[in-house]
Structure 1
Amino acid sequence: MLRPEVLEYYRRGGERGRLSSGAGRLEFLRTWDVLTRMLPPAPAEVLDVGGATGVYAAPLAQAGYRVTVVDPVPEHVAVSAGLPGVQAVVGDARDLPAGDASADVVLLLGPLYHLQERPDRLAAWREAARVVRPGGVVVAATISRFASLFDGFVKGFFRDPGFGPLVERTLAEGRHGNPREVPRWFTSAYFHRPEELPVEVAEAGLVLRRLVSVEGPLWMSPAALADFLDDPALLLDRLREVEDEPSLLGASSHLLTVAARESAGGAVRNCRAWLTTRAGWRLAR
């Protein structure tokens, strides 16, 4: 289900603890903030696809949601299955082990950026559309096309001569690779341009609701973040005000796409409206 290097990356703990400090903590807080505003109230049925060790499944279950994690890494599933109120199964985002219209919410907070081929990403979107009930919500996370460029400066990766060619290919094609499997660099992935996401949503027969920058450009200022993460109320308030500002979308490390299941015709009309309103960037409300 996963490329061998991706599976190895997660098995050696490449993401373990990433969301607990610095820019990762900001990513978690902002993602959780968006979920609390976009999800239907508990006890809704949530399918957390690519939910890993349950970093979002656990608080969702605590809030009263009925949560099932689907993840391709058996070790992740074993951890998630041990969380109170959480069920977990091994599975693939492109072929979900769930019935038609069986969930109120489908979260794709990991799969899309590990599917380098567009047909595979569309398959994941279409599976989410199949599984979610009419009127239900799909929330998907993607990595910005420009994340490795900025990350290289923030973390000093450009000191390694092998990092430059990696960034050049990512910028040109969206394909992020780690040919030498350098532990500090992210593994094989696809990095989206913001304008790709409304098109993918429409092709899956979903209706785009919001396209949101998660961290904005603040993830590139770890020293400044340290002053706010222990008491993040002000930070979250301010970021909400600009979360769908078109000119900031590409500067965020991650984007969240919020979609709903409606008619395929409605999804196409919604996508066209999004692309043509405010110079093709701001989503009409």
Structure 2
Amino acid sequence: MTSSTPETPAPVREEIIAHYAQGREDGRLRGGAGRLEFWRTQDLLRRLLPPAPARILDIGGGSGVHAAWLAQDGYEVELVDPVPLHVTQAGKLPGVTARHGDARALPDADGSADAVLLLGPLYHLTERADRVRALAEARRVVRPGGPVVTATINRWSGLHDLLNLGALFDEDIRARMHACVEDGRNRPTGRAPLFTTAYFHRPEEVPAEFADAGLEPAGQYGVEGAVWLMGGVVGWLDDPAQRAVALAAARRTESEPSLLGISSHLLTLGHAPA
């Protein structure tokens, strides 16, 4: 049986497609401080996903940075993304099937995936109803009891990042980031857009959205913890011994409630009703 959400969702915003069409996303997690997000996400997924071989639906999976190692681990990976460049890039990866699609309206059959990843879509859906709709689609296509794992950007990540970089001392940038902290909406305006259209969650918002979509929240994990804000992080990641210590430190505090909001990204785990 195949079913889908009856109403066609509004197209993904043009500025979001244009942002990712520049092709920078493919290298973002492969070097510099971005490796912290990559390795920590990999560590978490290896603990949260069912064992291979299992069918993983990687919705909004970008160029396939995570799909590539999942396929190497023995998973059957199908990647769905609204950006044509990403579909082309991911489609060249061994063991990965890639197609164009929207997280809010999937053609996949009910219960056809063993696990569903939403590591990008939720922070580009600025309306709560759209986010719940994407989560409801993930619940529909995952098998009963199967896991759904999402990534969100934390509400204060932009503020901390720009302060760390020294950019927050610019009055225009500071005003835009303060507005984002107030309502969670990142707007690509001003003389130097900081990012494309996005929504930055408070940690407690995500389980509520899961519940409204019919998913049972099961855990939250700070990806970078406080490590990403420390000046020596790139050097630590370059050195295998120091990297192991830094990753272990982030793992040790990953689900500490008082620290969830300090991380740049948050993974939330939920399950479809059994």
TM-score, structure 1 length as denominator?
Answer: 0.88
Tell me what 1:237 maps to: 248
| Residue identity in the other structure for 1:49 | I
Q: Secondary structure at the match of 2:79?
A: strand
Within the candidate set 208, 220, 228, 1:211 is matched to: 220
Tell me what 1:139 maps to: 149
Aligned length, in residue pairs: 262
Confirm or deny: 8 A CA contact 1:116 1:175 kept in the other structure.
yes
Confirm or deny: 8 A CA contact 2:25 2:63 kept in the other structure.
no
Tell me what 1:262 maps to: 273
Tell me what 2:3 maps to: none
| Residue identity in the other structure for 1:75 | L
Instruction: Note the C-alpha offset of 1:223.
Output: 2.2
Q: Which runs of 5+ in 2 are unaligned?
A: 1-10
Q: Secondary structure at the match of 2:144?
A: strand
Identity of aligned residues (%): 52
Tell me what 1:280 maps to: none
| Residue identity in the other structure for 2:78 | T
Over aligned residues, Cα RMSD in angstroms? Answer: 1.4
Compared CA separation, residues 123 and 53, structure 1 to 2 (3 A): same
Report Cα offsets for 1:191-242 as digits up to 9, x if no partner: 0001101111111111111100000111112424422444132222222221
| Residue identity in the other structure for 1:235 | A
Instruction: Note the C-alpha offset of 1:252.
Output: 0.4
Matched, 1:34 2:22: no
Instruction: Note the C-alpha offset of 1:139.
Output: 0.5
Confirm or deny: 8 A CA contact 1:62 1:85 kept in the other structure.
yes
| Residue identity in the other structure for 1:254 | H
Tell me what 2:203 maps to: 194
Confirm or deny: 8 A CA contact 1:18 1:24 kept in the other structure.
yes
Q: Secondary structure at the match of 2:171?
A: coil
- What are the residue-to-residue correspondences of 1:48-197 with 2, within 5 Å? 48-180=58-190, 182=192, 185-197=194-206
Instruction: Note the C-alpha offset of 1:85.
Output: 0.6
Instruction: Note the C-alpha offset of 1:13.
Output: 2.5
Instruction: Note the C-alpha offset of 1:73.
Output: 0.3
Matched, 1:246 2:261: no
Tell me what 2:8 maps to: none
| Residue identity in the other structure for 1:208 | P
